[in-house]
Chain A
């Protein structure tokens, strides 16, 4: 089927099977490798992207659901002002180890701060609970989100 959607600020027209996973389109068709496949069943969050500002697992989104939607991937998000603040916060907190989960956490952070610019620790932990990290024990990631919020990532 023919689908029109916005990807990282650009209008895209695609002719794909409605059941094709957004994840495969982003990685295979557009070469957006920041979107990772960690489990393929919506458990790990490594493939998260922002759809209309909310973090979603792209492995669970069929292309048929994407008509008219606005998709932002980690690559493009990190170019934005808010992306740079979150990136610096992750660096400062030491929130990156193996990095495979990291772009997904960036998306979850952006999504949280869109909805709540000043979250407390419990809200942060809940917002990140759809993303798995096996390296950090989450302490540094939670701190990174707090730093980013403190530097106004939710406001810009």
Chain B
């Protein structure tokens, strides 16, 4: 793996970033630009009775729903979030209108003088309340086999309930967006994952033809899903403001505003019931997944789908009944976040399998492996596992790397070791890829080429990896491959930068272009090749019954975590993480290591210190002092390895990678804490306070 496509090349975007030369949106300045400040609801659920504005000085404006030329809704999967609130507000922080003007401090002064009268209504906040009041947005279910028979014939039935909390993306660059009109064209610039989502939202909100809109992505300082759908909302807001004021309008969030008002990972409550036969094998599973979607549904239905299609993790469980519900609450809307629903389900199934093994007195890893999917197995949705499942090799490798057996035997008090097995479905769920039909363009000009895609560089290394795929396919130096500025006026819609799809799907299309270009290289100086995604005919999916291949292929992995728990303070210290992954063929080892290390760390944060709580609709943590993300002191040494398993339909054999590490580390850490304390773990984050409290209850 140290040669060929896996051999690392220098990242093409990094030197500019190190030297402080890369221009993020806040580093831009437009002539005569105005700033925007969002005025937000201070109530979780209320009717707006009156809004009183201070007298606005010259050059200062209020921009609200009456200024929206088209639809006052943000277009996404469910287009229910108002661009600006109407008569009703549904969460604290919901945008009411913008104050716009040349001086930021003056805007803050004006904001303090805004007076809003509300008539408050009773809100719904927690999943328990939502379930009781049945405020359901989406209700899905599917079945496999004969679950009723499995439970009827069970030798043992085990029931458990699992919870996971909010998580804030905490990308280092806060949300930022700007809009301006130039020569009758609306330009939007900003930090974002999905320029075409932004364009599609603007088409409806601004009610103008697509020829009059250009979205230009600026250097994006981290996203993790937090810049998937959210920038569509802010883009519409600043576009409306730019139209009204006839000036460029820039909106940069403070950290506090960003944490309080942008989307979060869905909190979950997952109820599991497992049926065991007389040989202690899990033959049936009922899983009921409840997600707190917040005030608007947005893309929560798709998050819920991935949660449900990941219900059984890496296990082959013949009889299933899976149900999932998204609940409406008066909380900040939940949205996309690395893993997209899968981490919640994988946490539940991994902890359930661990607890069953412990109860039966079996070795957890061996017990899990007895249930593992194999090539040819049926997936939970009745699809087929087509690839060779290299879990035995992965587990063999990680056991050796970690000296798992030896460490299990020589355990010190308050230290623990835990393992997780996991997978991640590559690319969009179900029909997603065939609906999007991503398009890419590769053009040649003498001896250099330019790739045009809407997949953005947001830190994950897409620019380097896509250039490298083209360069190696054409057998030319990477310097000869340009990555075109992502601008919807100049690049085709290759789909959004989400779902770990960029390398496998977009990179795959680029490789096809490059192969054709290579064959025609000498034809002429200028050549343009376009490819559109074709859904493989061997993939079958029925969206109405959730039956078939939810994903074309999976990436796989195992983690082993070592932890120590302080016996007095109950603080968890993660000492070491071992990880082995099958991502097909690594396209660039250094970039891939970066994804894995970062994903592991973010998962450790979610599992341990990243506590975010709601209190009657208000998020109690709103800055990086009280919402703690891991520092260099909280992050352990990591030892990472890969097994090669080329995927014939991925570029150079690559599958998905970006989300996989996030899915794996939380259950491994929780299993290790369970081992250290000798008790069940049914929730995360495992804060010292919560561990101490539950210990006192025992």
User: Which residues in A have some Cβ–Cβ distance to B below 8 Å?
Assistant: 27, 32-41, 43-44, 46, 73-75, 78, 87, 90-91, 94, 96-103, 106, 124-126, 128-142
Contacts and interface: CB of A to CB of B under 8 A. Distances in A.
Nearest to B23: A33
A38 B594 CA distance: 21
A134 B223 CA distance: 10
A140 B632 contact: no
A97 B461 contact: yes
B11 A137 contact: no
Contacts of A78: 18-20
B21 A75 contact: yes
Contact of A44 (B224, B459, B624, B637): B624
Given A100-B221, A135-B598, A94 B590 contact: yes
Contact of B172 (A74, A98, A106): A98
Interface in B1-60: 8, 10-11, 13-24, 26-27
A43 B18 CA distance: 20
Given A90-B18, A103-B17, 8 more contacts: A32-B20, A33-B21, A46-B172, A94-B591, A96-B14, A135-B459, A138-B630, A138-B632
B20 A73 contact: yes
Nearest to A108: B632
B222 A100 contact: yes
Specify which of A41, A75, A94 lies most central, judged by the most chain B CB atoms within 10 Å of its CB. Answer: A94
B224 to A, nearest CB: 7
A134 B19 contact: no
Nearest to B171: A134
B70 to A, nearest CB: 33
B34 to A, nearest CB: 16
B170 interface: yes
B661 to A, nearest CB: 9
Contact of B13 (A99, A103, A137): A99
Contacts of B169: 134
A134 B627 CA distance: 13
Interface string B484-525: 000000000000000000000000000000000000000000
A125 to B, nearest CB: 4
Interface in B157-181: 169-174
A98 B254 contact: no
Nearest to A46: B172
Interface of B: 8, 10-11, 13-24, 26-27, 169-174, 219-224, 254-255, 458-461, 590-591, 593-594, 597-602, 623-625, 629-633, 635, 637-638
Contacts of A36: 24, 26, 172-173, 221
Nearest to A104: B172
Contact of B22 (A44, A94, A99): A99
Contacts of B172: 36, 38, 44, 46, 98, 100-101, 132-135
Contacts of A124: 632
Contacts of B629: 132, 134
A125 B224 CA distance: 24
A138 B633 CA distance: 9
B635 A137 contact: yes
A56 B184 CA distance: 45
B11 A91 contact: yes
Contact of B27 (A33, A73, A134, A135): A33
B624 A39 contact: yes
A103 B19 CA distance: 7
Given A97-B598, A98-B221, A128-B632, A91 B14 contact: yes
A41 B255 contact: yes
A94 to B, nearest CB: 4
B625 A134 contact: no
A97 B600 CA distance: 15
A138 B635 contact: yes
A135 B222 contact: yes
Contacts of B22: 99
Question: Most chain-B Cβ atoms within 10 A of its Cβ — which of A32, A43, A91, A142?
Answer: A43
